Structure 1
Amino acid sequence: MKFNAILLVLASLCLEQASAVTWYFLRWYTPDTSAEFIKFSMDMVAPTLPQAATYYLWPGLQDVGTSGVYQEVMDGRSGTWWIGAGWCCSNPTLSWGGGFNVAGQTTTTIDMVRTDNTDWTSTLTQGTQTVTDVFPLSYKNFNQALLAIELYSVAWDFGPLVFKNVVMEMNTTQTAWCTSAPENYNSATSYTMSTPVVSTSNGITTCSIALVNMTGPA
């Protein structure tokens, strides 16, 4: 992630500036700034949490100006995973959304959808639990989609992070952004990924990836 975005996440989570952060993420970009992501959804499998520590695992969208990140964060600080949606970190300043605890090796369905010219809607579902939050972020041009691991003074010691049924939609007819490999930040992550399936209809391109398995540090 770009340096200013890292600072934004750091500020949002109220961590000491001296904390050592380690990043692992895969990132897809729009082909140009006239295009933007309008949907990002997936099934996220929680790894087994080995200890209470500052693990943040999340899918998210970042805007052209890197003013922040709209994200669904799985947080391991309490010793039990908790997942919730929010905007990090300012411009605008928004309250964090709701969420729930998540057991290891269970799956949470995540939907982030641009619902109109004002709002994005986040929906988190696991079994009978569903949490929906609305964020007035449609004026942001989200040109980056990320699957991220953000660690503060702790190692990647929880095993693979698995995302299934990843779907990205973008208002473009171009398709190479989907069929090309994502950026692997600093080549830091070992991962496997199913072959993307791409389709275009009415000016919207849908990219579907059955499995993204972030297996560990490279």
Structure 2
Amino acid sequence: MKPTLSHLPSLILILFSFLTFCTADVPPVANLTFYGVWITAGPDAILTKFESTITLPPGSPDPSPSNDVQAFWPGMETAADNAVFQNVITNQGGGAGEWYLLPYYCCNPAKPLADQMRVWPGDTVKNVFSLDLPTMKWYNNWVVTPGPQGNAAGQVPFGGGFVFDPSIDTLTHGAPYTGALLTIELQDQGTWDFGAVEWSNVIVEANTTDTEWCSNGPTGGSNWKWSASKGTYSTSDGNLTTCYFASVVLESPDPPN
């Protein structure tokens, strides 16, 4: 998909999505909406790491998910907002109330990067994107820890990962990622009816000595509810700044009180 969270203050966007394969010859998906927060040190500060742990919310009470597309994901975008590398949790692929993990890249070509994996409400999913600077390739790793519902279903902890080369994109030609996103995505008849989406231990590392972006915290919309803990930072001899947020919570689509 092509988020442009840096340019619209509402952060609720009508764009192409990962299920449309983000191609020009595919018509836009109906009612495509995003709620998200965005973390960046600026268009010239390349991200070198993005880590977060999400606790999966309850599944949607909608008994017919085929036209009720819901997803939420951590991802990274380029400074031009024309590519995103994301680990998507979606309700597409199974029955009502189910969630699935799907690493995905958009936009040219848009493609799943691993097999879809069943996960359960209450599971935690730790996602780590790490850049190998000599090759500019990314390591994408995840670890799933079952919650009570997953344990009851017989799920065991599991993880996985792969190496991804953004230079496959014929549009961006491997342009670096400069923005980190934590986002809810809705399509068609999908609504935000699954409660708050909570991320913990959010870490963003960028090649800059500037720290104001961390102290100021994420950027988010003003017409829906979200919160973030105060950012703390550290710097290294390699001109890297690491920013840490204990929690980022996308609370509700309702306007703040």
For 2:209 and 2:29, the matched residues in 1 are separated by: 44
> Greater strand percent: which structure?
1
User: Residue 9 of structure 1 contacts residue 68 of structure 1 at CA under 8 Å; is this kept in 2?
Assistant: no
| Residue from 13, 25, 28 that aligns with 1:17 | 28
**Secondary structure of the corresponding residue to residue 7 of structure 1:** coil
For 2:217 and 2:244, the matched residues in 1 are separated by: 13
**Equivalent residue number for residue 99 of structure 2:** 81
Q: Is 1:42 aligned with 2:40?
A: no
Paired residue type of 1:177: W
| Residue from 16, 26, 38 that aligns with 1:27 | 38
For 2:251 and 2:76, the matched residues in 1 are separated by: 22
**Equivalent residue number for residue 6 of structure 1:** 15
Structure 1 length as normaliser, TM-score? 0.89
Specify every segment of 5 or more residues in structure 1 that has no aligned partner in the other structure, as ranges: none
User: Residue 59 of structure 1 contacts residue 146 of structure 1 at CA under 8 Å; is this kept in 2?
Assistant: yes
For 1:156 and 1:146, the matched residues in 2 are separated by: 18
Paired residue type of 2:184: I
**Equivalent residue number for residue 127 of structure 2:** 110
Structure 2 length as normaliser, TM-score? 0.76
Paired residue type of 2:139: T
Specify every segment of 5 or more residues in structure 2 that has no aligned partner in the other structure, as ranges: 6-12, 146-156, 168-173
For 1:87 and 1:5, the matched residues in 2 are separated by: 18
Q: CA deviation at 1:85?
A: 1.3
User: Residue 62 of structure 1 contacts residue 143 of structure 1 at CA under 8 Å; is this kept in 2?
Assistant: yes
User: What are the superposed Cα offsets for residues 62-94 of structure 1, whole Å, 9 maximum, x if unpaired?
Assistant: 00122211101001123311112121121x555
Q: Alignment RMSD, CA only?
A: 2.3
User: What are the superposed Cα offsets for residues 100-124 of structure 1, whole Å, 9 maximum, x if unpaired?
Assistant: 2111011011101112323101111
Percent of paired sites with the same residue? 25
User: Residue 58 of structure 2 contacts residue 194 of structure 2 at CA under 8 Å; is this kept in 1?
Assistant: yes
**Equivalent residue number for residue 59 of structure 1:** 74
Paired residue type of 1:65: A
User: Residue 35 of structure 1 contacts residue 143 of structure 1 at CA under 8 Å; is this kept in 2?
Assistant: yes
**Equivalent residue number for residue 170 of structure 1:** 206
User: What are the superposed Cα offsets for residues 4-33 of structure 1, whole Å, 9 maximum, x if unpaired?
Assistant: 9932646327986351112101011223x3
Q: Is 1:72 aligned with 2:101?
A: no
What does residue range 65-214 of structure 1 map to in structure 2 within 5 Å?
A: 65-77=80-92, 78=94, 79=96, 80-90=98-108, 92-116=109-133, 117-127=135-145, 128-137=157-166, 139-152=174-187, 153-185=189-221, 187-202=222-237, 203-214=239-250
Aligned length: 215
